[in-house]
Amino acid sequence: MKSAYELAMERLNKTAPTVKLTEDQKKQLAELDSVYAAKIAEREIFINGELGKAAQKGDYEAMEQLQKQLVSDRKSLQAELEEKKEKVRQT
């Protein structure tokens, strides 16, 4: 007798089977993660520096704008990363 979990996993595998990745694909995915982590960190460092300058001036409107820009940059870089990872997975 199978548990509900096992039955659910069987159904899931029928609708969306697990994809086996090659070693080369795994290396490419790891490299993409590394590159995009660096890009995100670079943007954070830059914008945090600008935030510090705006805080010293007391320009709260600029600070808010910079925080929104940081969130936007993170989202766009994450979306770009996921798009590239999907291409690697499909090759």
pLDDT digits (tens, 9 = 90+) for 52-81: 999 999 999 999 999 999 999 999 999 999
pLDDT at 17: 64
Q: Is 30 helix (H, G, I), strand (E, B) or coil?
A: helix
Q: Chain centroid to CA 79: how far? A: 6
- Which has more confidence, 67 or 8? 67
Termini Cα distance of the chain: 39
- The whole model's pTM is what? 0.75
